[in-house]
């Protein structure tokens, strides 16, 4: 976007529609060398930009084009290739944090993340932890998920369009402050659906506005999941979907689940409308 005839660069975190039906964009800013407001390192490059922690919500009309931001390795390859001499990308390898320019902390195949809304044990600051980039989710008990799916994946862009959820739909449900993976068992009333969570071996009731279609990040893209009415039939044949013990009380279903099962909770948290609350930022 432009401000006073100057080009500004930002990372688009989310697109959404606000309560006034305006198309909005949530961005996180990059700062150019003349914008950082702190002492620059001796080895800075004129095409280098620095990732900041500043975020802002803007009208989508403020976006007037795309900017290419490369890693250092890709930028060096670009400079050595004469085929793209008219292209002028930026590159980023450092961030502005607490008034200092710092490199992204890396430790082998791990990245360090800071949760923006979760406090540490002492509640003295935001929780930080190292997360393995190569960590893959375990195969799910129902066999409805993709094998080899990574636990750390890009932020998905939420769709503002409402979805209809049939029995057997693979969904994410807003539950206990995060998106949890489940499958729709049945309808229990007007706009109310019962969802089973295989990782927890529990059921709970949700409105359609508390659900979203589940996607898997495999092959460098988000992939939809097909509905599995066959799985739902097996589940409901074991426990009556309309029984009082399952609806509202969130009692476990009575069938075998392997020990040491883990709930698949996404690293990102969102508000109930499906808009990310920026609960985690990558700092490495």
Q: Which CATH number goes with the domain that contains 15?
A: 2.30.30.490
Which among 28, 65, 66, 34 is positioned nearest to 49, based on CA atoms? 34
Please indicate, yes or no, if residue 284 is contained in any of the structural domains: no
Tally the domains of the chain.
2
Indicate whether 230 belongs to any domain.
yes
> What pLDDT was estimated at residue 218?
84
Let me know whether 191 and 99 are in one domain: no
Q: What pLDDT does residue 59 have?
A: 93
Residue whose pair of structure tokens reads 């989710």 in the numeric block: 137
Structural domain harbouring 19: 2-103
Give the three-class secondary structure for 235.
helix
pLDDT at 122: 81
Last residue of a domain, one of 57, 81, 103: 103
What are the strands, taking DSSP E only, across 74-160? 90-91, 94-97, 100-103, 106-107, 110-119, 126-132
- Using DSSP, state whether 24 is helix, strand or coil: strand
What's the confidence (pLDDT) of residue 50?
A: 92
Measured CA to CA, the distance from residue 7 to residue 87 in angstroms comes to: 16
pTM of the model: 0.48
Inside any domain, residue 86: yes
**Pairwise CA distance, residues 113 & 151, whole Å:** 14
- Which one of 77, 103, 129 terminates a domain? 103
Q: Are strands 170-175 and 178-189 parallel, antiparallel or unpaired?
A: antiparallel
Residue 160 lies in a domain: no
What one-character DSSP code corresponds to residue 123?
S
Strand bridging mode 49-59 / 6-7: unpaired
Is the domain of 7 the same as that of 83?
yes
What is the reported pLDDT for 1? 58
Residues 97 and 115: beta-carbon distance below 8 Å: no
97 and 175 fall within a common domain? no
Single residue among 74, 103, 132 that ends a domain in this structure: 103
At residue 72, the pLDDT reads 83
CA distances from 258 to 20, 46, 159, 198, 241 (A): 48, 56, 34, 10, 22
In a domain, 71, yes or no: yes
Q: Cα-Cα-Cα-Cα dihedral of 279, 280, 281, 284, to 10°?
A: 170
pLDDT mean by block of 10 residues, the chain; 284 residues: 74 90 92 86 88 90 89 84 80 86 73 78 83 81 84 74 80 85 89 89 91 87 89 75 39 37 38 39 46
The answer as to whether 81 is a domain residue is yes
d(CA 128, CA 115): 6
* All residues at 6 or more sequence positions from 100 whose CB lies less than 8 Å from its CB, including other chains: 38
| Helix intervals (H) in 31-155 | 72-79
Instruction: Output the pLDDT for position 149.
Output: 84
């Amino acid at each position: 976007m432009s401000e006073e005839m100057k080009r500004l660069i930002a990372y688009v975190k989310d697109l959404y529609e606000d309560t006034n039906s305006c198309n909005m964009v949530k961005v996180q800013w990059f700062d150019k060398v003349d914008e950082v407001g702190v002492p620059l390192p001796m080895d800075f490059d004129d095409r280098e930009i620095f990732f900041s922690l500043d975020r802002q919500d803007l009208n989508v009309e403020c976006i007037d084009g795309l900017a290419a931001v490369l890693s250092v390795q890709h930028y060096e390859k670009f400079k050595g290739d004469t085929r793209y001499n008219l292209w002028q990308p930026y590159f980023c390898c450092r961030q502005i944090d607490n008034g200092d320019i710092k490199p992204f902390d890396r430790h082998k195949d791990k990245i360090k993340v800071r949760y923006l809304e979760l406090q540490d044990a002492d509640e003295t600051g935001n929780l930080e932890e190292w997360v393995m980039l190569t960590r893959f989710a375990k195969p799910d008990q129902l066999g409805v998920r993709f094998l080899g799916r990574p636990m750390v994946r890009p932020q998905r862009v939420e769709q503002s369009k409402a979805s209809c959820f049939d029995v057997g739909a693979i969904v994410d449900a807003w539950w206990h402050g995060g998106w949890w993976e489940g499958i729709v068992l049945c309808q229990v009333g007007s706009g109310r659906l019962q969802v089973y969570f295989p990782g927890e071996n529990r059921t709970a009731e949700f409105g359609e506005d508390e659900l979203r279609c589940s996607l898997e990040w495999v092959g460098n893209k988000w992939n939809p999941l097909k509905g599995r009415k066959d799985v739902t039939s097996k589940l409901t044949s074991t426990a009556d979907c309309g029984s009082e013990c399952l609806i509202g009380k969130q009692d476990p279903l009575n069938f075998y689940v392997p020990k040491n099962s883990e709930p698949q909770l996404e690293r990102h948290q969102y508000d109930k409308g499906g808009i990310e609350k920026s609960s985690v930022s990558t700092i490495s």
